[in-house]
Amino acid sequence: MKKVLPFLLVLLSTFLFSCSKKNDGDNAPNNGDGSWKMGSYTYVRGTSSQTSGPGGNGNTITAIAASTVGTGGSYGVFSGSALTITFYSNLGEGKYTLGTTEMMVASPAAKIISISCTIGTAVNTGAVLYAIAGGAATVTVDVTKDSNGKYHINMPAGATLTKKVVVQGGIADAKDTYDLTINNVY
């Protein structure tokens, strides 16, 4: 398990910083296709990257990084957002329970998915990363796979994410928690 966690961190970092360089074909957002709502702000997927690799113990880990492009919603200091999603895709499609990366690594046979959301990525004044707090969440996330082999993530019920990392001073008016919903992010 100790070998898997560093691999996960490297994998997530790679995708988070490269998501704006690779996409699924076009940079123009398709309204209603690939969006998420963090608090009162709705963000539309502009670019995304998705890859799978060995996750230890015979598991395959899939990481999805999706981000906005341009102004990222024109929400002032809240403009721009990025989602990072990881799960053991060898467990197949279906309903996953939202949890932490540590929970996922500790229970590799359970359908646990880790999701984090960064807001303020389209401005240079600071950003904030949010993730699920420790402990089991009761929120389920739907994972499906399309005919092109891309995984699609939906979380219509929403979950409360907690402030985890503040970058460059963060966002002065950012709350400690926000509710996140996801519509067809891939």
pLDDT at 28: 37
pLDDT at 136: 59
Here the tokens at position 91 are 């467990």
pLDDT at 135: 67
The set of residues, in sequence order, having a beta carbon less than 8 Å from that of 138 and lying 6+ positions away, is 97
Q: List the domain boundaries for the chain.
A: 4-22+39-185
Length of the chain: 186
Answer whether 0.85 is exceeded by the pTM: no
Burial class (CB in 10 A: 0-12, 13-18, 19+), 10: exposed
pLDDT at 155: 97
Here the tokens at position 116 are 């984090």
The low-confidence residues of the chain, meaning pLDDT below 50, are 1-31
